[in-house]
A and B are shown apart, each in its own frame.
Chain A
Amino acid sequence: MSQADMTMAAHSHHPPGMTVGLEPFVVPAKKMAMWLFIIADAATFAGCLVAYGFLRNGTPDWPRPFHSMTNAVLMTFILLTSSLTMLLGVRAAKAADRAGAFRWTMITAVLGIVFAALHIREWLALIDEGMTLSHNPWGSGLFGSAFFSITGLHLLHVTGGVIALLIIGLSWKAGHRTAEDLETAGLYWHFVDLVWMFVVPFVYLLNMAH
């Protein structure tokens, strides 16, 4: 092995002698992995929403059970605000403000928990009115399965995101994480918020009772 190779190896994270090419996109591996996951998850949610659209378009007796948009407004505001707090947390982390980054991350997690609680409360109210996966008192039984599957999948993502934020936030506070880890978690949280921006109009607002 030449001196040049040894020098390169000393300054590289690759083993000596390993041939490496150009790094496309110049994106850190963790961030790239998260982006790839986000792209795949976007396709999943898009598939669910488009299938929901096909069903709704082809079903004459599609119900419109929502009489009030108050809960949807509140949940949207909470999730958008949580995106902002996550952003402020990542910014604090990159500015070496360890306490500030931890505080904003925990605030984001708390907002996520509040969102999940409001969502579950809404589910329980709909179930109390007689809505199930296959039946409801207002129209086509397809509505229940579509509604619960789409909102349930989103709620699952929110719950997973809250757990991840708590774990990463606490390990950040203990000094085991870098700002890049926080930023990667933030990417996921912004994606969850982004999906909600499509779920609200198509699943809630288009099904408002006239």
Chain B
Amino acid sequence: MDAPDVHPNSPEATYTDSAGKYYVIYICLLILAGLQFYIATLNLDTTAMFARMLFIAVAEAGLAIMFFMHLWAEKRGFLLFVVIFTGFVLLAMQYGWTDSNRMDVGAPYSQTKPGAVQQ
């Protein structure tokens, strides 16, 4: 079925969202991305660099989701559904870092107890 033509004066065509807001968010995203590239040039250890970059990436994602994807304009219940469910899943994935840290010392499954006899 063809889409009906929208008359410029019809209520359906009324769209008062300002384009200026989009440009402001766009500039903010560029600045945040630039900040990440700047942090990459600093002489930081990996953990500190990762933490800073993660913080900025989450801020960028928040701006994009809320304003570019218009989640801010949706019903509050829908916003909470998206944020809480997605956030929970992402946080639940972080359980493996303790295993990852144990692997770093070359013992993927267990560490030899002091005094144990090697066979």
Contacts and interface: CB of A to CB of B under 8 A. Distances in A.
Interface string B86-119: 1001100110110111111000100000000000
Contact of A58 (B19, B43, B100): B100
Interface string A47-71: 1001101110111100000000100
A58 B100 CA distance: 5
Given A50-B93, A57-B104, A58-B104, A194 B53 contact: no
A205 B36 contact: yes
A77 interface: yes
Contacts of B19: 88, 91
Contacts of B6: 96, 179
Interface string A198-209: 101110011010
B7 A200 contact: no
Contacts of B75: 25-27
Interface in A30-51: 35, 39, 42-43, 46-47, 50-51
A206 B48 CA distance: 11
Interface string B8-44: 1010110101010011001001100100110110010
Interface residues of B, number: 57
Nearest to B78: A25
B13 A94 contact: yes
Nearest to A46: B90
A157 interface: no
A13 interface: no
A113 to B, nearest CB: 20
Nearest to B90: A46
Contacts of A166: none
A191 interface: yes
Interface string A67-107: 00100110011001101100110010011100000000000
A117 to B, nearest CB: 20
B5 to A, nearest CB: 7
B118 to A, nearest CB: 22
B53 A205 contact: yes
Interface stretch (A120-128, A133-141, A170-178): A170-178
Given A57-B104, A95-B15, A39 B99 contact: no
